A = this chain, B = another copy of it.
């Protein structure tokens, strides 16, 4: 087989089949996918979660991950946030002619590894090849199906809820930014992109009333919390409680960035009733990727504001990010 992707690989013909058989099937091997039909047949449930995300991250490979890991984790996390158990993933690749087959294999291996970790299977896929210069290497879309074993999370924060973050804020965004801009730090920042379904399940097991769950990706904490606040709910977050690497906060200061707006790919946010909050934190800390879990804020009766409270007790309003802090972050 050729070393790079050619337009023929996107033809649906012989070269396409060769690509599927030599790259995708070995990487993702499972019974559903191996049938090579246009639609996978999967077992279902009464209620489904369905989500999609396209990944156009630049660079494709970065410390702590790559576009492959990101594309599986992001979709797993969106399903998990709904309260569903992620089960099936579809993969749609748009690849530029000239893209190295070796890079494609690395990306597939990384997707397979993330899928295994998340206990999901890649059941169906599609590949299109476009002319060089028309896709910046590779874009990956993943859609996902999750099955509900209990009721969907209502995504409605209530006054009295505590806001919990499952891990350190900002690691993914700062890693991408420094990789892209060639800003060197020692040691380099690493993305924490990870499948968080076990964290979501752990919280739901210990707390029958998870009011909202969300992975704060594009737009960061600011975006998620602003979407959670509503006409009669304020959300207060405590600056000193936000788990973060010292190096990440220093980088934010250095670059003039607000950590509240940095994208995350390895963090889940929860809103749970006060009485359950400590138990949820303890349950999260026992899970992989949950060791830094802590309460970062609370929801109170108010008028729809989100604000950060400094150690001195001063408050500053957190607004929905307006523009693009960093394009192509995921």
Q: Is the interface of A mostly helix, strand, loop or mixed?
A: mixed
Question: Which residue of chain B is the closest to A328 with respect to CB atoms?
Answer: B130
CB distance from A29 to the nearest CB of B (A): 17
Binary interface encoding of chain A residues 77-92 relative to chain B, with 1 for a CB under 8 A from any of its CBs, else 0: 0110110100010111
Set of chain B residues within 8 Å of A78, measured between Cβ atoms: 38-39
Say yes or no for A135: interface residue by CB 8 A criterion. Answer: yes
CA–CA, A47 and B147, complex, Å: 12
CB distance from A140 to the nearest CB of B (A): 9
CB distance from A153 to the nearest CB of B (A): 9
Binary interface encoding of chain A residues 39-82 relative to chain B, with 1 for a CB under 8 A from any of its CBs, else 0: 11111111111111111100000000000000000000011011
CB distance from A317 to the nearest CB of B (A): 14
Question: Which residue of chain B is the closest to A38 with respect to CB atoms?
Answer: B78
Say yes or no for A208: interface residue by CB 8 A criterion. Answer: no
Say yes or no for A101: interface residue by CB 8 A criterion. Answer: no
Residues of A87-139 contacting chain B, CB below 8 A: 88, 90-94, 123-131, 133-136, 139
Question: Which residue of chain B is the closest to A224 with respect to CB atoms?
Answer: B12
Tell me which of A159-167, A175-183, A318-326 binds B. Answer: A318-326
Are B147 and A44 in contact, CB atoms less than 8 angstroms apart? yes
